[in-house]
Amino acid sequence: MGLNLGLWSNRLNIDFDWYNRKTTGLLFNVPVSYTSGFGSYPDNIGSLQNRGIELSVDAQPVRSAFTWDIGFNLSLNKNKILTLPNHQGFVNGSFYEKEGYDIQTWYVRKYAGVDPQTGNARWYYDPNQYKDSLTTSYSRAQRILFGSASPKGFGSVFTTLSYKGIKLYAQFYYQWGNYVRDVWSRYTQGDGFGAFFNKTKKELQRWQKPGDITDVPKYVYNNPTSSYEFSTRFLYKGDYVRLREIQLSYDFSPNLLQKLYVHALTIYLRGENLLTWVKDKNLVYDPDAAGITGQLNLTVPTIKTVSAGINLGF
Amino acid sequence: MKKLLIHISLLTAALLFSLSCSKEFLNRVPYDSYPTDASLNTANDLRTALNGMYSGLKSVNLFGRTIPILGDLLGGNIYISTKNSGRYIPYNTLTYTVADGDASGLWIDAYSVILRANNIINANVPSSPDVDNIKGQAKAVRALMYFILVTHFAQPYVVNPSGQGVPLVLQYDLFLKPARDKISDVYNQILKDLTDGYNTMNALNSNSSYMNKWAARALQAKVYLYMGDYNNAGIAAQDVVSNSGYKMVTNAAYLGYWANPNPRNDKLETLFEVSFDQVYNLATNSLAFFYDQTGYGDALCTPELYALYTPTDVRRQLIIKGSPVRGANALVVNKYPNKPSNNDDDTKVIRFTDVILILAEANARTGNDAAALSWLNMVATDRDPSFAGYTDTGAALINDILTERRKELAFEGDYYYTNFYRLNLDITNRSNAFPASARQFLASNPRRILPIPQGEMDNNPNIQQNPGY
């Protein structure tokens, strides 16, 4: 369902779409007991719903010798599993598939920081039932449904300013609502596990003596605890805003070009991905590198580039 | 007009021809998705399936690497060097959890081989000596897999035979979510499968990389040993020693035996092994690569084990002092010198000398010290010609046998399981090469047995986890 509006001789354009999409017969690998000789079998199970809006607004507030365009677009999507066979939820890697929840809901132990007296990592034993009970045994801590790897929304804001031949264009991209997992944290923040691997600066905040309050456990060579295993300690908010593109250009006027047998000439200076603001200060990687599955696997981040160029039209 | 007539007649001919072809010509079944009951119909089909079953044993999580490493690492014959590739560290420090990949891989791959064996055993093919031999091999391999599973994931038999074993799955059933069967039930099924195999298999099925009658009997001796049934262990072991026609490898041939990467058909020493070669090997995941100092080289011999060998013991030559990457004091294991590029060493599953030592122990435990000494010294004085032989009796003799087992079967995955787990004995001096928190491995430690994998717990609500996990 959508709506397209153009107002004031197209100085304001609005595009609005609302969608509700139901997918059935999804192909999933349904887990089975390993004693059968297999771990799962593919089946057309369950149904899924994606519901959301897409909005695009584009305006030109100033139109004279000096023009100013500004616009934004926004996508919101909410994903929900509608039905699963036997209404049974199941574990799917680091996720949990359950009716009524997002398809990429994290299934994870909840980290409870470090014991100030001993420096040991702790997890919540069963956050749903016993709100404050903690344990130092990783195996015994129960996993909970925690956020999703799918962003709640994303979009961009763009603006162009131009005067005579000079044009300045900028585009911001934003995304929020997802959680990303750092898969290599077991080595880079291993608290002594993987001792020969490089570490992130966060390890310097480790617990050192009784009374220290920190969320980085004590560093013990060869780490006999499980503090490096997956928990909410290594789940970060994936919210970020990025200056995707900024470009300053100058179009030479056709009068000046007549003598050169060129009918268009533009010079420009462009920067891509120059600035990124990541909401979660603990996340040292580019949240964009997590991709669609929300796993940061030492993937190459988006590169910043600066380029300059000339466009010639004959 | 003539042309039209020709065209019409050609067309009619074509039409008639196409109608007379059967429609089945157009129906094709996919080559790689045959249902089991349609695919296993003849002895040849079974032989193909059998090869697939043997192939499953080569997994890195089974005899490819984990089984031969685990028994020695947990026991303290080897340790993981501080310069390592990140493999088996939780077994070095005794800190594995339910999420551990090696424990999980062992469980999954063992049941995968069991499925392949079950498909062969349950195939609806008329009995014949050939078919029975094939099914016998499948039974023996199934028994071997259940023996690995029950010793790795369940309590020792001597502690509580009616305790939780592992699920006994003897038929393919994708949707079954089985609970754990009793330990005694699992052992009884293992014994039954080995007996059936012994009765129907050939004495030698081409070479040592195939199960055979005597390998099954030897395994049976070991299983009886683990059950504490020393009478039957002795009978089975004596049967192999007297009647199989296999010979123990002797001092002069010892180093050549270990330097040989190929399976044998000369009935020397190896009763059954899992074979790799230049074409089919695990490359960087192979056992040889794990010991090779130009490979990963992570696992080194502990000084405590090295000290047990006298300078005249031929087995000492399988350990080399000094590593180009780990220092002059590193004790490098050279029992598997053949890298994948050189036909890749095989993993021995059961050997003749093992059976002799089982026979020695069975005799010692049933009051026959003289016979026990005779068998024990047959091994000990061969390996070390300047050794006069053991003379102890009683409990001291049993210790001597266990020590000789440690020296002989080092680096073959046997040490922890046969010398400690089976007898529920504490390990109080695992080795100073381990971190201080991991130098003792007491019988009361819940980690003496592996955790049921998290994936199994998630997918199967009827299964119970081991205590302490």
The ipTM, to two decimals, is 0.87
8 A C-beta contact, residue B335 and residue B346: no
Report, as ranges of residue numbers, the positions in chain B whose pLDDT lies below 70: 1, 13-23
Q: With beta carbons under 8 A apart, name residues in chain B contacting A34.
A: 107-108, 111, 453, 455-456, 459-460
| Nearest chain B CA: its distance from A144 CA (Å) | 13
Residue A192 identity (one-letter amino acid): G
Residue B328 in contact with residue B346, Cβ under 8 Å?
A: no
pLDDT attached to residue B20:
58
How far is A62 from B66, CA to CA, in rounded Å? 72
Q: B173: nearest CA in chain A?
A: A36
- On the 0-12 / 13-18 / 19+ scale of CB atoms within 10 A, A308 is exposed
CB contact under 8 A, B455 and A196: no
Those residues of chain A whose CB sits closer than 8 Å to some CB in chain B are: 31-39, 41, 90-91, 138-140, 187, 193-196, 221-226, 229-230
A185-222 per-residue burial string, b: 16 or more CB within 10 A, e: under 16: bbbbbbbbbbbeeebeeebeebbeeeeeeeebbbbbeb
Where does B244-286 have alpha helices with state H? 251-259
Alpha carbon separation from B305 to B315, B317, B432 (Å, rounded): 11, 13, 11
Q: Which residue among B115, B178, B456 sits closest to A37, beta carbon to beta carbon?
A: B115
Tell me the shortest Cα–Cα distance from A266 to chain B, in angstroms.
Answer: 55
CATH number for position B213: 1.25.40.390
How many domains in chain B? 1
pLDDT at residue B17 in the model: 60
Contacts of B170 in chain A (CB under 8 A): none
Query: What single letter denotes the amino acid at residue B363?
Result: N
Quick check: A193 and B89 CB within 8 A? yes
Nearest CA in chain A to B166: A35
Q: Model confidence over B243-279: pLDDT tens digits?
A: 999 999 999 999 999 999 999 999 999 999 999 988 8
CB A137 within 8 A of CB A125: no
Distance CA B41, CA B64 (A): 31
Q: Taking the CB of residue A22, how many other CB atoms lie within 10 A of it? A: 11
CB-CB under 8 Å, A34 with B459:
yes
State the residue for tokens 């990783």.
Answer: A138
DSSP secondary structure letters along A207-269: --STT---SB----TT--S-TTSSSGGGEEE--EEEEEEEEEEEEPPHHHHGGGT-SEEEEEE
Choose among A33, A224, A230: nearest Cβ to B176: A33
Please, is B357 exposed, middle or buried when counting C-beta atoms within 10 Å of its C-beta (0-12, 13-18, 19+)?
A: buried
Q: How far is B220 from chain A (nearest CA, A)?
A: 24
CB contact under 8 A, A35 and B460: yes
* Structure confidence at residue B22 (pLDDT): 61
CB count within 10 Å of CB B371 equals 17
DSSP character at residue B465: P
User: pLDDT tens-digit profile of A12-44?
Assistant: 999 999 999 999 988 888 889 999 999 998 888
Which residues in chain B touch residue A135, judged by CB atoms under 8 angstroms apart?
none
- Using one digit for the tens of pLDDT, what is the confidence trace for B7-43? 777 777 666 665 555 667 778 777 777 777 778 889 9
Residue B17 domain flag: no
With CB atoms and an 8 Å threshold, state whether A139 touches B112.
no
Among B99, B174, B453, the residue with its CB nearest the CB of A36 is B174
Are A31 and B455 within 8 A, CB to CB? yes
User: Which residues lie closer than 8 Å to B411 by C-beta, 6 or more apart?
Assistant: B68, B72, B77, B78, B291, B301, B318, B333, B335, B336
Please give the Cα distance from B180 to B286 (Å, whole number).
Answer: 32
At residue B285, the pLDDT reads: 94
Closest-CA distance, B178 to chain A, in angstroms, reads 8
Cβ–Cβ under 8 Å, residues B269 and B352 = yes
Under 8 Å between Cβ of A266 and A253? no
Examine residue B346 and state whether it is found in any structural domain, yes or no: no
Residues 6+ away with beta carbon under 8 Å from A80: A48, A49, A51, A100, A101, A102
Q: How many CB pairs under 8 A join A and B?
A: 90
The residue type at A9: S
Could you tell me the residue range of the domain that residue B425 belongs to? 41-276+351-459
From the list A32, A37, A225, which residue is nearest B175 (CB)?
Answer: A32
Please name the residue of chain B whose CA is at the shortest distance from the CA of residue A220.
Answer: B435
- Does the distance separating the beta carbons of A35 and B176 come in below 8 Å? yes
Q: Looking at the partner chain, which of B112, B175, B451 has a beta carbon nearest the beta carbon of A37?
A: B112
**Which chain A residue has the Cα nearest residue B149?**
A35
Instruction: Give the integer Cα–Cα distance in Å for B339 and B63.
Output: 16
Separation in Å, CA B30 to CA A29, B40, B336, B447 = 21, 16, 42, 46
B178 interaction partners in chain A (CB closer than 8 Å): 33, 35
- Tell which of B59, B87, B106, B111 to mutate to test the A interface (max A CBs under 10 Å): B111
Residues of A in contact with B111 (CB under 8 A): 34-37
Query: What is the CA A15 to chain-centroid distance, rounded?
Result: 25
CA distances from residue B172 to A83, B37, B118, B120, B227 in whole angstroms, order as listed: 28, 11, 7, 11, 28
Whole-number pLDDT of residue B190: 98
Residue B75: its H or E element:
helix B66-75
Whether A36 and B97 lie within 8 Å, measured CB to CB: no
Chain A residues near residue B459 by CB distance under 8 angstroms: 31-34, 39, 90-91
Contacts of B177 in chain A (CB under 8 A): 32-33
Mean pLDDT by 10 residues, chain A (314 residues): 86 92 87 92 88 94 90 94 86 90 94 92 87 86 92 95 93 95 90 86 92 92 85 94 95 80 89 94 88 86 93 86
Separation in Å, CA of A189 to nearest CA in chain B: 15
Say yes or no for a CB contact (<8 Å) between A91 and B438. no
Sequence-ordered list of residues with C-beta below 8 angstroms from that of B426, at least 6 positions apart, any chain: B420, B440, B441, B442, B443
**What distance, in Å, lies between the first and last C-alpha atoms of chain B?**
91
* pLDDT of A260: 75
- CB-nearest to A33 from B94, B438, B456 is B456
Q: Cβ contact (<8 Å) for B111 and A35?
A: yes
Give how far B363 is from chain A: nearest CA, Å.
38
What is the reported pLDDT for B19?
A: 59
Q: Which residue of A28, A32, A35 to mutate against B (max B Cβ within 10 Å)?
A: A35
3-class state of residue A9 by DSSP: coil
B80 domain-assigned: yes
* Best to test chain B binding among A36, A91, A140 (most B CBs inside 10 Å): A36
A251 phi/psi in degrees, rounded to 5:
-95, 120
Has residue B298 been placed in a domain? no
Mark yes or no for CB contact B115/A38 under 8 Å.
Answer: yes
Q: Amino acid identity, residue A269?
A: L
With an 8 Å Cβ cutoff, are B435 and A91 in contact? Answer: no
Task: Look up residue A163 and give its DSSP letter.
Answer: E
Residues of chain B contacting residue A222, judged by C-beta atoms under 8 Å apart: 89, 92-93, 435
Residue B385 in domain: yes
Residue at B144 is within a domain:
yes
For B280, the token pair is 């089919």
